[in-house]
């Protein structure tokens, strides 16, 4: 196990973390603002993957197909939020239980449309090669995904911290009633954030597709990882979600390579320890 | 007829029916579905102790179910640990110990935090079952162990296993009913409704919740033991998120905080999944839709719905009786709508 082994796993881990971030960002933003744990978040990922896959098979450009996956996830997400979830603002538990039902519906609906066989997703042509550096070999696409995800993370942070709409969202997170009292249209922020979360997950589904591929049950496998990320990063924290995504990506990849029999254990044991020491996560504020 | 009497008669009839089922000449298929109902019923009731009575929406109940099942399988195939009672006891103890450890971690958070953490903890156990191939058999699970006879129950026979599960269900249901009606259960409900007031009254709310988590884990393990013997197979699916979700749906569909509701929910899911999977492959989709409608329109589940309808009918009858009396008693007053 030379340097090449470690470097390759570091890159693979960061690439894995990049796709996890696209799920976790929406998850943590939606929770931070609305206190809804959206269990359909990884179902949006799967939906985006399948939609992109169908378009990709018809020769649509990779990135366009990814965006389309994001858009379809957004439309479905907005329908779920607008028709159902937003009524249950006062009881986050009901919203959570409902989102679970929609996760089942999306998962089984995808199975009906796209079948049960795992389907691999090819990376875009321009990044289809592998890079050889001495004994180190890795797909170019890993780098591309890491860059894209980092740019999105930076964009989200700038948006949240530096724009007026971002300030509105932060105000609504801190004190929803006060924000309403100041005449801020908090509902618009709710719809926007839910749509954004669904879009990122849907986009992530196709962009992450070359790594995870797409198959029924993928959403159920990714959900606990998203949970681990928000536990480590802290519920509602975007920076925390980014760092924790990369951390989980790395631990997961190294765990699989070094302890193939215990890799889940290597993820969730640290999570359990963090819970014991800092229930609010490494970067989170204490849940009221 | 007074209510306790009526309840006793209803319970008696149901019991006689349940005991008679294997002798009614029904296809063996139905007996096996009912057996599954009793097993899942125990699991669903154990979750109801948490969701309904304690107010803790735990997403790790499948872990204890799975622990029970894997204790049977691993014990029998790797350690020649095949007797029923020691196995059951070991399963309950191990599940209780894991619940004690997990409960201590999970109860550091409340509400949404609790849900997230319990889901993550469940994944630890699932991950072990799925990946620790040399111990758990991984995705292929474990076969190669057989049902064992328990006392008077010849479990190799399907009707014998039916009676074993029914007996276990009755014991668990009785224990749980006694528990929720005991001072212990009342404190749980009190702490669910008014945690601060209960704390001010001197109750250690944390400790009561913690004990509820451990007890619920032990009951789930009993269900898991039966499940392993019933199938003579154990796989990681038994403690996956899917199981958690299904059991949660059983509890909510039947009615939280009623014990009997989750049992009903278990029956509905077991029978519906079998009936629907004959007709359509989209049964999960239908289940999801039924579940969404339940959460939205009947949040107290079927039992809650029935109670509400009965209360409405009763108040209407009383109203019409009162109205009849008020009209002046010229007419005999027994003529309310039925």
Predicted ipTM?
Answer: 0.83
d(CA A206, CA A170): 29
Q: pLDDT-based confidence at B78, cuts 50/70/90? A: confident
Least confident of B86-95, B192-201, B262-271: B192-201
pLDDT at B320 over 90: no
Which segments in chain A show pLDDT lower than 70?
A: 1, 284-288
Average pLDDT over residues B33-55: 94
Q: B131–A268: do the CB atoms touch at under 8 Å?
A: no
Structure confidence at residue B326 (pLDDT):
62
pLDDT at B333 over 90: no
Q: A37–B115: do the CB atoms touch at under 8 Å?
A: yes
Q: pLDDT-based confidence at B325, cuts 50/70/90? A: low
Is B305 an interface residue toward A (CB < 8 Å)?
A: no
In a domain, A139, yes or no: yes
Calculate the dihedral angle through the C-alpha atoms of B34, B40, B42, B46, rounding to the nearest 10 degrees.
-160
Which of A93, A98, A263 lies at the smallest CB-CB distance from B131?
Answer: A263
In a domain, A265, yes or no: no
To the nearest whole percent, how much of chain B has pLDDT over 70?
95
End-to-end CA distance of chain A: 46
In a domain, A182, yes or no: yes
In a domain, A27, yes or no: yes
Q: A104–B111: do the CB atoms touch at under 8 Å?
A: no
The burial class, CB within 10 Å (0-12 / 13-18 / 19+), for A229 is buried
Instruction: Choose the mutation target among A30, A95, A224 for the interface with B, i.e. most B CBs under 10 Å.
Output: A224
Is B298 an interface residue toward A (CB < 8 Å)?
A: no
pTM for the predicted model, two decimal places: 0.85
In a domain, A285, yes or no: no
In a domain, A192, yes or no: yes
Q: How many structural domains is chain A composed of?
A: 1
Structure confidence at residue B327 (pLDDT):
59
Structure confidence at residue A285 (pLDDT):
61
**DSSP string spanning B239-264?**
GSHHHHHHHHHHHHHH-TT-SHHHHH
The shortest C-alpha distance from B111 to chain A (Å) reads 8
Structure confidence at residue B336 (pLDDT):
41
d(CA A242, CA A248): 10
Chain A residues with a Cβ under 8 Å from any Cβ in chain B: 31, 35, 37, 84, 92-94, 96-98, 100-105, 107-109, 111-112, 220, 223-224, 227-228, 230-231, 235, 260-265, 267-269, 271-272, 275-276, 279, 287
d(CA A191, CA A7): 41
**Residue that the structure tokens 């959570």 belong to:** A96
pLDDT per residue over B189-208, tens digit each?
Answer: 888 888 888 888 888 889 99
pLDDT per residue over B149-204, tens digit each?
Answer: 787 887 778 888 899 999 999 999 999 999 999 998 898 888 888 888 888 888 88
Strand positions, DSSP E, A118-271: 130-133, 136-139
The shortest C-alpha distance from B276 to chain A (Å) reads 14
Is B115 an interface residue toward A (CB < 8 Å)?
A: yes
pLDDT at B332 over 60: no
The shortest C-alpha distance from A93 to chain B (Å) reads 8
* Structural domain boundaries, residue A153: 8-214
In a domain, A233, yes or no: no
Q: Between the CA of residue A284 and those of A70, B113, B188, what are the distances in Å?
A: 27, 12, 30
pLDDT at B45 over 90: yes
CA A165 to chain centre: 22
Structure confidence at residue B88 (pLDDT):
93
Domain ranges of chain B: 24-299
Is B98 an interface residue toward A (CB < 8 Å)?
A: no
Structure confidence at residue A288 (pLDDT):
40
Is B110 an interface residue toward A (CB < 8 Å)?
A: yes
Q: Does domain B24-299 have CATH number 1.10.760?
A: no
In a domain, A262, yes or no: no
């Amino acid at each position: 196990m030379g340097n090449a082994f470690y470097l390759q796993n570091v890159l693979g881990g960061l690439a894995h973390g990049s796709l996890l971030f696209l799920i976790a960002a929406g998850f943590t933003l939606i929770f931070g603002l609305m206190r809804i744990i959206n269990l359909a978040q990884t179902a949006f990922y799967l939906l985006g993957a399948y939609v992109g896959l169908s378009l990709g098979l018809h020769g649509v450009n990779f990135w366009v197909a990814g965006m389309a996956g994001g858009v379809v996830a957004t439309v479905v997400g907005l329908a779920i939020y607008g028709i159902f979830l937003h009524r249950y603002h006062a009881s986050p538990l009901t919203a959570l239980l409902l989102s679970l039902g929609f996760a089942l519906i999306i998962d089984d609906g995808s199975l009906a449309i796209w079948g049960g066989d795992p389907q691999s997703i090819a990376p875009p042509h321009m990044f289809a090669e592998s890079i050889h550096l001495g004994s180190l070999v890795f797909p170019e696409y890993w780098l591309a995904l890491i860059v894209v995800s980092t740019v999105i993370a930076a964009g989200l942070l700038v948006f949240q911290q530096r724009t007026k709409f971002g300030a509105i969202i932060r105000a609504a997170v801190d004190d929803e009633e006060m924000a309403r009292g100041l005449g801020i249209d908090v509902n618009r922020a709710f719809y926007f954030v839910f749509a954004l979360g669904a879009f990122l997950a849907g986009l992530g589904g196709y962009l992450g597709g070359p790594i995870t591929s797409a198959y029924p049950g993928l959403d159920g496998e990714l959900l606990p990882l998203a949970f681990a990320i928000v536990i480590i990063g802290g519920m509602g924290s975007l920076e925390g979600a980014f760092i924790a995504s990369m951390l989980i990506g790395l631990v997961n990849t190294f765990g699989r390579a070094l302890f193939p029999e215990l890799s889940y254990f290597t993820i969730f044991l640290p999570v359990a320890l963090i819970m014991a020491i800092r229930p609010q996560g490494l970067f989170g504020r204490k849940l009221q | 007829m007074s209510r306790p009497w009526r309840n006793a008669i209803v319970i008696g009839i149901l019991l006689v029916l349940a005991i008679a089922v294997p002798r009614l000449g029904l296809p063996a298929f139905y007996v096996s579905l009912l057996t599954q109902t009793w097993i899942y019923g125990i699991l669903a009731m154990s979750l109801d102790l948490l969701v309904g009575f304690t107010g803790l929406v735990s997403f790790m109940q499948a872990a204890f179910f799975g622990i029970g099942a894997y204790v049977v399988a691993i014990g029998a195939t790797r350690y020649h640990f095949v007797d029923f009672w020691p196995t059951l006891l070991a399963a309950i103890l191990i599940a209780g110990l894991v619940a004690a450890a997990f409960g201590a971690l999970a109860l550091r958070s409340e509400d949404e935090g609790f849900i997230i953490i319990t889901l993550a903890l469940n994944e630890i156990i699932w991950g072990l079952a799925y990946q620790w191939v040399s111990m758990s058999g991984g995705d292929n699970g474990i076969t190669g162990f057989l049902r064992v006879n328990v006392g008077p129950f010849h479990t190799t026979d399907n009707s014998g296993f039916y009676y074993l599960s029914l007996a276990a269900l009755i014991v668990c249901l009785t224990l749980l009913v006694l528990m929720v009606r005991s001072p212990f259960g009342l404190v749980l409900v009190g702490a669910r409704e008014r945690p601060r007031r209960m704390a001010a009254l001197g109750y250690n709310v944390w400790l009561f919740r913690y004990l509820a988590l451990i007890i619920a884990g032990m009951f789930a393990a009993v269900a898991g033991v039966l499940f392993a013997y019933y199938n003579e197979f154990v796989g990681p699916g038994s403690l996956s998120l899917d199981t958690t979700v299904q059991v949660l749906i059983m509890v909510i569909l039947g009615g939280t905080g009623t014990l009997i509701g989750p049992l009903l929910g278990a029956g509905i899911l077991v029978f519906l999944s079998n009936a629907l999977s004959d007709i359509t492959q989209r049964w999960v989709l239908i289940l999801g839709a039924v579940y969404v409608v339940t959460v939205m329109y009947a949040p107290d589940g079927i039992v809650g719905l029935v109670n509400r309808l009965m209360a409405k009918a009763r108040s209407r009858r009383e109203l019409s009786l009162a109205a009849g009396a008020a009209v002046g008693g010229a007419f005999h007053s027994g003529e309310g709508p039925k």
